[in-house]
Structure 1
Amino acid sequence: MFEPTFNRAIKLRQADPRITSDAGALLLREVDHRLGLTADLAAQLTDDRAPQRIRYEPVELLRQHLYALALGYAHQDDQDMLAHDVALKLAVWDRPGRRGLHEWLASQPSDWRLIERLACPANRRALRAALGEWVARHQRAAGRGRKVTHGTLDIDPFPIEVHGQQPGGAYHGYYRQTMYYPLVASFSAAGDYDAPRLGEGFVHAILRRGNSSSAEGAVRFVRTALRQSRRLATHLDVRIDAGLVNGRVLDAIDDEGVSFVGRIRNNAVLDAMAEPYLKRPPGRPLKEGDEFAVELGSYQAGEWTRPYRVVLVVIDLPDPKTGMRELFPHHFFLVTNWRVEQRGGWELVEHYRKRGTFEDRLGEFNAAIGNGLSAGSFEANEASLLLKLLAFNLAGMLRGELEDASGCGWDLKRVQQTVLKAGARVVEHSRRVFVDVARAAGVLWERLLDRIACWWRADASGQRRPRRRRWVPPPAHANLCLVLRE
């Protein structure tokens, strides 16, 4: 097919169709099968197609779409190429033996029709409920059936730029672009996404129009997200950004009996309360700078129905390049319903700063899965967003297991390139199909499969097996058919 000029001994030709570069789809299917993710989700979806005309089952279409997203194929046009991929065929099909190797997967139009069917309200509710359910199943499997003691729910909107005349897309003055403005909630153990405890991911999401305010629909969203997350942790708290801090949202969290911390925007009243603490003491300042937290007591804004505790955070650090300080120290305010004896001022600051790991997860989602939405309706775009978040949760399960096994952090993009995008050759025998994986990825695969094999299963541990009894022959005078009937 091609002979490079720099070395005439090299001959390039088209690969054997039994060679794949996406062998990681089999890992995704193994996680999916052990937790029963797509099978249970597909059973809850409504399908209005005529049964006699169905070639691809809903669960197979769902797997093909989710696995492609988890592998890094963000565009629907990639489905035509992936329809011939031998590893994806083995992972998607439910057909026994080698039958799946010689049949094509669904094409791009079939995948587009799947998104259109998922756009109905019932199917979108099922997709939204699956977010928290998948995180809970992974947590139970990896944690031997136990939930974490302390969990944190991060709630934040983020922009998704749209192109053309997308339904619901609007210009946002702050971001200066035409976009959607979805609201997502993510769960983590102890508020740290870099912690070794497994069972993290997105638990709730809604798609909003581009000109929505940060807190639009946040009250109902918060209540639903808390209901989804209570089964994940014994003690739950919430972290929110300044855009979501208003009286109705804070009261909704407080009424649920959940602690929260959020950043509150500066105003004249708060600046007057902080003024005595913003003056530098006389003398030469410390070379390394200073940062501290000050309790300002209770504060109630004009629109709030109840007062909450406010903490002033002062940061007076020199510039890392010039060593010079600003004319005035930088400061901001945190609002919380934690009591001082429960969580001190600086402890509250450190807990809120871990929110940066959640923003890193949003960056990984945009880079590894992709946030492009190009469906024909607003509802279909929301269904597409929910599928992308489900794919992120699925790939995140493998990333979490790999981090726990190796003891170091793994970016999701690196997991895709190193573990999931692995080369392999499929060899058919009389009754078996052998997949020869590249040696470079085989070592990591062994670690992952060993950990997956140790997952706790509720059906195996929660039910008691029947006790084996010694067989006793019936008496000679008994009628054998009556004995067998009993």
Structure 2
Amino acid sequence: MTDCNLEPLTFSRLGSRSVVADFRGGRLTTDAGALLLREVADRLGFFEALDAAIPDPRHPVFIVHQQRTLLAQRITALALGYEDLNDHQTLRVDPALQLAAGQLPEQDRALASPPTLCRLENRVDRRTLVRIAEVLVDQFLTAHPEPPEHLILDFDATDDRVHGHQEGRFFHGYYDHYCYLPLYVFCGDELLAAYLRPSNIDAAKHARAVLKLLVKKLRATWPRVKLTIRADSGFCRWRLMRWCDSHGVGYVLGLAKNSILEEEARDWIERAQRQFLRTGESQRLFGSFVYGAKTWDRKRRVIVKAEHNAQGSNPRFIVTNVPGDPQELYEDVYCQRGEMENRIKEQQLQLFADRTSCHRFLANQFRLLLSSAAYVLMQALRRTALAGTELARAQVGTIRLRLLKAAARVVVSARRLVFHLASSYPYAGVFRAVFERVMGGRRPPAAESG
């Protein structure tokens, strides 16, 4: 049977010349930037740490692909933009991915097939998942050679829509579809935890347990570090606040408004209204008072933002045990929580954290952690090598398009592996600058214009 991929593709003529394409270019890759990811991962010992966290029950005699190779193949492919296991049917002979996975880029030594990678996903257990999660925190710790004085941990939940009959799927009324409800913890741009949960739970479910584990691990390395958690009103639970109070952890949490809160803040609310009516300009006033819901163990400090504009009154509240000016705590601390939502979108939309299509719940948790590992790898590249370039604050999709999706012709000889990148590559200057950073060069990075 004729392979249709070998048939030439004839396009419209250009003058007297025919224009023909085929798939016989030889050892080419469109992902030469995987070389940079390989160097970053090697310097972190990232794939080795993940490999050590996962038991391998296979008999050594029958192993064709080492587990470390499987992990490097899967995580690097996610970073390069390949979300499906089926993609690996052809990716397994891509020379850049072969090299990134630690294997010689030879056509007769293909990487793992989709079924092999699928078996890896489906043999993990809960203990293994916990160990993998610890590796992500360890990467955060090693990224800070000097102990930080203060860390703010952002907690948030989001929906992970499912389209089949996966274990643990439930219909969520707020999101109006069947989904999971993963819990994320970030510290700035750094990912600390990604925990998959069914959606028939409170948004704060297990947040206190995750916080306990993180605080224990962070303080074991940095005993004097000051810790503050930040989250929306879905995490305002008195047991969480009580634990923070008794363990020296600060919190700045959203607080859902109610009639009692609005009565306590009436002076600020009415004053904002009067000033708006007098000036016609939007007004924002801040104040604080002591409040305790009936379900709480005690009263706590509440900060009100009394806002009034053309749309009317819009008071908002947060509860905190952190001392400071109400306006600064609200605007400079609590409102910065929104940046975490960008990080979650980055991981879900650009690193495919929502690709939880396995039937087994634990396999889907493993997929979420693989996506998290890809985020940690890309963040390490951004943190260590992109400072001073035009990609310093770029999102994963932009970094992938401009830096990783680089075409190259690959020449393999007995002594060298040569990747000939395109002479017309528009970001060659950035690529070289990042290369020098990754390899430990002293030359400062030079930004390239688009």
**TM-score with structure 2 setting the length:** 0.89
1:396 aligns with 2:401: no
Once the two structures are superposed, residues 298-341 of structure 1 have per-residue CA deviations (whole angstroms, 9 ceiling, x without a partner) of 21111111222100012234xxxxxxx02x321110100012xx
SS where residue 151 of structure 1 aligns?
A: strand
Distance 2:277 2:206 in 1: 50
Residue identity over aligned pairs, in percent, reads 29
Residue 46 of structure 1: how far off its partner (Å) = 0.6
Give matches, 1:437-456, under 5 Å.
437-438=421-422, 439-454=425-440
The higher radius of gyration belongs to 1
Distance 1:45 1:270, change over 3 A: same
2:73–2:101 contact (8 Å) kept in structure 1? yes
Residue 276 of structure 1: how far off its partner (Å) = 2.1
Distance 2:160 2:100 in 1: 31
Residue 285 of structure 1: how far off its partner (Å) = 4.0
Distance 1:99 1:85, change over 3 A: closer
Distance 1:285 1:38, change over 3 A: farther
Distance 2:275 2:375 in 1: 53
Give matches, 1:268-307, under 5 Å.
268-279=259-270, 280-281=273-274, 285-286=278-279, 288-296=281-289, 298-307=290-299
> Aligned letter for 2:130?
R
Q: Which one of 244, 251, 259 corresponds to residue 260 of structure 1?
A: 251
The residue aligned with 1:331 is: 315
Residue 66 of structure 1: how far off its partner (Å) = 0.5
Moved more, 175-184 or 447-456: 447-456
Q: Which one of 210, 215, 227 corresponds to residue 221 of structure 1?
A: 210
Q: Which one of 121, 126, 141 corresponds to residue 121 of structure 1?
A: 126
Once the two structures are superposed, residues 365-403 of structure 1 have per-residue CA deviations (whole angstroms, 9 ceiling, x without a partner) of 122111120112111111111111111111122233455
Moved more, 272-281 or 154-163: 272-281
Once the two structures are superposed, residues 254-293 of structure 1 have per-residue CA deviations (whole angstroms, 9 ceiling, x without a partner) of 2221111010011221011122222222685445522221
1:405–1:447 contact (8 Å) kept in structure 2? no
SS where residue 4 of structure 1 aligns?
A: strand
The residue aligned with 2:165 is: 165
Give matches, 1:130-209, under 5 Å.
130-137=135-142, 139-140=143-144, 145-188=145-188, 200-209=189-198
> Aligned letter for 2:198?
R
**What is the aligned-residue RMSD (CA, Å)?**
2.1
Once the two structures are superposed, residues 10-55 of structure 1 have per-residue CA deviations (whole angstroms, 9 ceiling, x without a partner) of 2211152311001122111100101111112212321111111001
2:276–2:308 contact (8 Å) kept in structure 1? no
1:86–1:426 contact (8 Å) kept in structure 2? yes
Distance 1:311 1:82, change over 3 A: same
SS where residue 64 of structure 1 aligns?
A: helix
The residue aligned with 2:27 is: 18
Query: How many residue pairs are counted as aligned between the two chains?
Result: 424
> Aligned letter for 2:362?
E
Q: Which one of 325, 337, 355 corresponds to residue 344 of structure 1?
A: 325
1:135–1:203 contact (8 Å) kept in structure 2? yes
Distance 1:454 1:75, change over 3 A: same
1:291–1:316 contact (8 Å) kept in structure 2? yes
SS where residue 228 of structure 2 aligns?
A: strand
Distance 2:105 2:292 in 1: 67
SS where residue 47 of structure 1 aligns?
A: coil
1:187–1:229 contact (8 Å) kept in structure 2? no
Distance 1:367 1:45 in 2: 27
The residue aligned with 2:446 is: none
Moved more, 52-61 or 147-156: 147-156
Distance 1:273 1:41, change over 3 A: same
Residue 148 of structure 1: how far off its partner (Å) = 2.7
> Aligned letter for 2:337?
R
> Aligned letter for 1:299?
Y
Distance 1:154 1:228 in 2: 16
Distance 2:275 2:329 in 1: 28
1:423 aligns with 2:443: no
> Aligned letter for 1:450?
E
Once the two structures are superposed, residues 119-139 of structure 1 have per-residue CA deviations (whole angstroms, 9 ceiling, x without a partner) of 2123211211111112222x2
Distance 1:288 1:422 in 2: 51
SS where residue 83 of structure 2 aligns?
A: coil
> Aligned letter for 1:337?
N
Distance 2:276 2:358 in 1: 63
Moved more, 276-285 or 146-155: 276-285
> Aligned letter for 1:352?
Y
Structure 1 gap segments, 5+ residues each: 189-199, 318-324, 457-486
1:316 aligns with 2:299: no
Moved more, 446-455 or 179-188: 446-455
2:36–2:438 contact (8 Å) kept in structure 1? no
> Aligned letter for 2:420?
D
1:83–1:89 contact (8 Å) kept in structure 2? yes
